[in-house]
A and B are shown apart, each in its own frame.
Chain A
């Protein structure tokens, strides 16, 4: 379980690429520098801790973990907002200030996708990986990736399009619903 010298040098060699990739994915979802850096650090730390198994598909692995981390962190923030703690809510909202609604909707839309579709969309479009790399990382055929990407994008568009005209009210309603369901 301990790191070896070759493991370390192999990770070092990939560090810059993976950090940039993870940061890009994280920023697209979180929209905040501090938050995106923190997500990227966490994803890279996890990659490094399991480097031996990750190395073969490092980019896809890091992109997937970053997406999942961002989504689960967003879920926690949303819970803080819903619980009515105003200070914490403001802190949670702050990261999304530049264009919060786009991102909130994007994360919500991603969350609504089936796992496989979400992974393909994240790797293909958030991490901008090539179809063949995604297929290799997920262990499926290129055709399957294409299909998932197509359906995932369509679902994403439907979700974003429908929520488009009145984003704010629909969000407010969602939060009320969350509160009511407690």
Chain B
């Protein structure tokens, strides 16, 4: 019925035609053999990946652990509150922390709440001593102090040393943040020349989170010392930590990456003795699956300490609202750490929060 579409003079299918057919057929067979080879290779990769995952879980058991009073296991799927510490060296029962953050991860809701504590916060020394700066409290007692004096139940402790912080950021290819104005700190070696979205490598990020004499370039072109000092620092630490979390999540959890992270953790991370390998894997998975918009963060509201204006005390007026929200897993109210008027506005934001 389609004869009207026929070629009136069809060609002869001679040697040239035939050669093309044979050549293409051979190429096809070769290709098929290659594909079969690729299939076998792929299968080995999958099996190898399984082995690597197994190895990752096995090796994660070797992460350094320390006994911390007050920590304990949490059932799978339940919200977990982790005290995150940054220290100059390895965590030991008596060592003090420079960075203190409380992170509440709710795997069911896919939500993360982060609350920074200033290291110059005054607390009562454990065992009935006088007032003491919180970072002088040994790690073994720290959870007890936070639970009884700040009123936040803590389940686990995770500590990262400062070298680990730097190498983690280099591992994930830098962190993306947004700065409100050019920043510098000649003491810590920080120099961010332009406002806007910037990517920091490990060294720069470290200079930012260590900066206690931050200077901000104001509109008239002069460098002005930021009045918030340590409160600014903990804010910046939190933003960099969140940006690092984003970068980590972006890197994925394929077995090679995962094993790299575990290598890193073996060198730089210490956890409390009740945090099991399964818990670590669960936390890592939940953190990797976080939606940046489901992150709520703030600093603990404080006031200058009556006895020493360079130290802080809990702001008994503003803190309860923040702490209640944190414990209940609600979004934290947007309250600055200290009521310092326009100087309280944030200078640094994690890029995903800022929408870079």
Of A31, A37, A106, A126, most B-chain CB atoms within 10 Å = A37
B325 within 8 A of partner (CB): no
Q: In the bound complex, what is the Cα–Cα distance between A99 and B18 (angstroms)? A: 29
- Chain A, range 19-70, C-beta contacts under 8 Å to B: 19-20, 23-24, 27-28, 31, 33, 36-37, 40-42, 44-46, 48-49
For A20, the chain B residues whose CB sits under 8 A away are 10, 13
What residues on A are CB-neighbors of B18 within 8 Å?
Answer: 15
As a 0/1 sequence over residues 1 to 19 of chain B, the CB contacts with chain A under 8 angstroms (1 = contact) are 1101111001101000110
Q: Which residue of A lies closest to B7 (CB)?
A: A27
In angstroms, Cα B25 to Cα A1, docked, is 12
Give the docked Cα–Cα distance between A33 and B1 (Å): 20
- Please determine whether B32 and A15 come into contact, CB atoms closer than 8 angstroms: no
Q: Which of B4, B10, B21, B32 contacts A45 (CB 8 A)?
A: B21
Q: Which residues of B sit under 8 angstroms from A27, Cβ to Cβ?
A: 5-7, 10
A41 to B19, CA, bound (A): 9
Instruction: Note all chain A residues with C-beta closer than 8 A to B17.
Output: 19, 37, 40-41
B24 at the interface (CB under 8 A from A): yes
Chain B residues, Cβ within 8 Å of A45:
20-25, 27-28
Q: Are the CB atoms of B13 and A28 closer together than 8 Å?
A: no
**SS class of chain A's interface: helix, strand, loop or mixed?**
helix
User: How far, in whole Å, are A19 and B17 apart by their CA atoms in the complex?
Assistant: 9
Tell me the count of chain B residues lying within 8 A, CB to CB, of chain A.
23
Checking A19, A33, A103, A126 against B13 with a beta-carbon cut-off of 8 angstroms, the contacting residue is A19
Q: Which residues of A contact B24 (CB under 8 A)?
A: 41-42, 45
CB-CB under 8 A for A37 and B11, given A28-B6, A106-B2, A106-B5: yes
Partner of B29, one of A1, A37, A41: A1
Most buried by A among B1, B7, B17, B29: B7
Which residues of the partner chain A approach B1 to less than 8 Å between Cβ atoms?
125
- Min Cβ gap B7→A in Å is 5
CB distance from A39 to the nearest CB of B (A): 12
Assembled-state Cα–Cα distance A2/B25 (Å): 11
Q: B32 near A33 (CB under 8 angstroms)?
A: no
**Could you list which residues of chain A lie within 8 angstroms of chain B, going by C-beta atoms?**
1-3, 15-16, 19-20, 23-24, 27-28, 31, 33, 36-37, 40-42, 44-46, 48-49, 99, 102-103, 106, 125-126
